Amino acid sequence: MAQRTKRLVLNVDCDEARRGATSGVLRQADFDVGEARTGSEALQLAAGEQPDLILLDVHLPDIEGFEVCRRLKSRPETSLIPVLYLAACPLDSSQQPRVLDFGADGYLTEPFDPGLLVASVKSMLRMRDAEREVRRYAKAWQSTFDSIQDGIAVLDSQGCVIQANARFRVHFSDGALERMIAYESPPIALKDIIGRVEKSGRHVKWEVTQGEASLEISLNGIQDSSETRGVICIVRDVTERNRIEENLRFTQKLESVGLLAGGIAHDFNNLLTGILGNASLALDEPGLPSGLRPMLQQVVTSSERAADLTRQLLAYAGKGRFHEEPVDISTMVRETLSLIRTNLAPNEVKLALDPALPLIRADATQMRQLLMNLILNASEAIGQKSGLISIRTAVTDLGEDSLRLFPNYSLETGKYVSVEVLDSGSGMDAATLKRIFDPFFTTKFLGRGLGLSATLGIVRSHRGAIRVVSEPEKGSLFHVVLPVIEAKDETQAPPDSEPDPITARILIVEDEESVRSMMRSVLERDGHAVLSAVNGFDGIQVYRAAKGTIDLVIVDLTMPVMSGEETIEGLIALDPAVSIVVCTGHSTSDAAKFSAGILGVIGKPFRGSVLRSEVRKYLLKKMQVNA
């Protein structure tokens, strides 16, 4: 339809002379005029031409004018066109209500003044323009209202929905909100909650579940000029927010345990290093009475078990990786099974191991602990009855969709080594699933302490992820993914013979006296000249006084006065060619930030023989670098 420059009025009248006179008045008032002589013709022209106003005679030859008006108002395409009746004679009292009942916007009776006709038409058009503007604003407001991602509704005092946006209607159908009230226990009626809000002026808020979604519902009072009437109901989908908060709490819990583990590891490993080192030194004494040897050996064994517990705690905190090397997970599964096979009877173990898995860089001891925990956990889930444990390894490409299987981890897309351990045991309910990685939580009569907690920490420390799928009486699936990192096999053949003894001048910077004394004894027995310092500041002074004669410095990372990091920086500033070995009860990742001057790391606690061999290895390494 072409854009009109003038307002179009459709004049419907069966009397040709009267119709022509009326049309002439309107054209003189600068209106465009269309004409129709019957009701059928009027309905057709109104639908096609969309006039701005219709003048309608009450008496038409085919259809009564009232019926024409009713049909116009009932059809969407013509319902908003104003209709002005023109009656050839005054309407009686019975006809006047019918005029308005059938939807007409007004009427004039003949004879009428031409000025009155024009004024009436213009008045109706102004009202129509105003109504159109209101509808336009209402439509724009509703579009904005419906675009809001929160569900919003206006409720009256009885809880009935007066107005709602599209999002609210998605969440709730009629009566659904009333059925989901969970504000108090026992639940109270929605209208009673609204009454509280109207009376107090305060808002209320509660949370409900709808399928997999969590919805937060809040009611806020509507304040008019006199008093509060009804409420604004806001429904917000907080599923993602709750997930993020849960992940944050989980991360904070790990960080808290990590801080605790760090403090325990330092103090506990210092004590263990002194106990384990001195006991191993005593065992090396040639004149040791035979009756003391078993007791000292028990001290060594107990110390090493205590060290394992500390490593598990560090693993749970994600700080327990000590030595990375190329690892073949399929091979390690077979090795681990051979170690614990006797603990799995009478369970059948079915393997589906990829023989061509790429190597990953990982701590072999930690990986072995992870696999052992998963397999033993599967066996214990089956119990004394016969069952099946299935272990599968494979390479998998994790895309955006696959990453959603591991919502609590910050994984990147790419290739991963996948390990799945499936058991036919009793399975777990949802409440148990939420707690299985908590320290010391167990469903067994005798708990194993940090088993699955340590497993989680090992996975996280290797930048991987773990998920668990389980239902009561349907078994459990533990699925671990570890990132594939280019790792060549760095295994070297052992030397044909032991290298000649090496002696050196060594500085020990260690705040724990028992550890310092034990290390001095071990190294002096190996022929080294040993200097010592109780903190980093003293260590730097001793190194400066030695004037370049010290071959190797062993530095503890955690010390008073100056930290290990500050000590290392001070030594390198004093002598860029200094050779340093870090000694720590924490993860080697704590020392990974140092590069220049660092030959390697010795993890606490350690036996005297380990200290001896590690020092020899690093001295040889220094000789190769300087050659």
CATH level 2 (architecture), domain 8-144? 3-Layer(aba) Sandwich (3.40)
Tens digits of residue pLDDT in 507-538: 999 998 888 988 999 999 889 999 999 999 99
> Each residue of 416-450: b (16+ CB within 10 Å) or e?
bbbbbbbbbbbbbeeeeeeebbebeeeeeeeebeb
Contacts of 586 (CB under 8 A, 6+ apart): 262, 265, 266, 314, 319, 557, 558
CA–CA dist 43, 72 (Å, integer) = 7
- Quickly tell me which residue has 């895309």 as its tokens: 399
Check residue 257 and give its pLDDT. 65
Q: And the tokens for 318?
A: 């994600």
Look up residue 384 and give its amino acid.
Q
CA distances from 382 to 159, 334, 346 (A): 53, 21, 10
Cα–Cα–Cα angle for 233, 236, 407, nearest 5°? 165
Q: Return the CATH class of domain 148-237.
A: alpha beta
Q: And the tokens for 77?
A: 């395409």
Check residue 192 and give its pLDDT. 80
Report cis status (omega within 30 of 0) of the bond before 294.
Answer: no
Q: Give the 3-state secondary structure of residue 212.
A: coil
Contacts of 622 (CB under 8 A, 6+ apart): 551, 552, 579, 599
Domain boundaries, the chain: 8-144, 148-237, 246-316, 324-483, 505-626
Q: Return the CATH class of domain 246-316.
A: mainly alpha
Look up residue 453 and give its amino acid.
S
CA–CA dist 218, 426 (Å, integer) = 41
CATH for 324-483 is 3.30.565.10
Q: DSSP letter string over 359-385?
A: PEEEEHHHHHHHHHHHHHHHHHHHTTS
Phi, psi dihedrals of residue 164, rounded to the nearest 5°: -150, 150
Q: Residue 224 half-sphere exposure, CB side, CA atoms within 13 Å? A: 7
- Quickly tell me which residue has 């106003």 as its tokens: 53
Contacts of 548 (CB under 8 A, 6+ apart): 575
Check residue 180 and give its pLDDT. 57
Identical fold, 8-144 and 505-626: yes
The alpha carbon dihedral of 165, 169, 171, 173 has a sign of: positive
Pairing assessment for the beta strands 476-483 and 414-423 based on DSSP bridges: antiparallel
Q: And the tokens for 517?
A: 């004394």
Q: Would you say 600 and 614 are in contact if contact means Cβ atoms under 8 Å apart?
A: yes
Look up residue 123 and give its amino acid.
S
Check residue 72 and give its pLDDT. 92
Phi, psi dihedrals of residue 322, rounded to the nearest 5°: -110, -40
Q: Return the CATH class of domain 505-626.
A: alpha beta
Q: Would you say 516 and 534 are in contact if contact means Cβ atoms under 8 Å apart?
A: yes
Check residue 254 and give its pLDDT. 63
Look up residue 621 and give its amino acid.
K
CA–CA dist 211, 69 (Å, integer) = 50
* CA dihedral angle for residue 88, residue 93, residue 95, residue 98, rounded to 10 degrees: 140
Collect the ranges in the chain with pLDDT lower than 50: 182-184, 321, 445-449, 489-493, 495-496
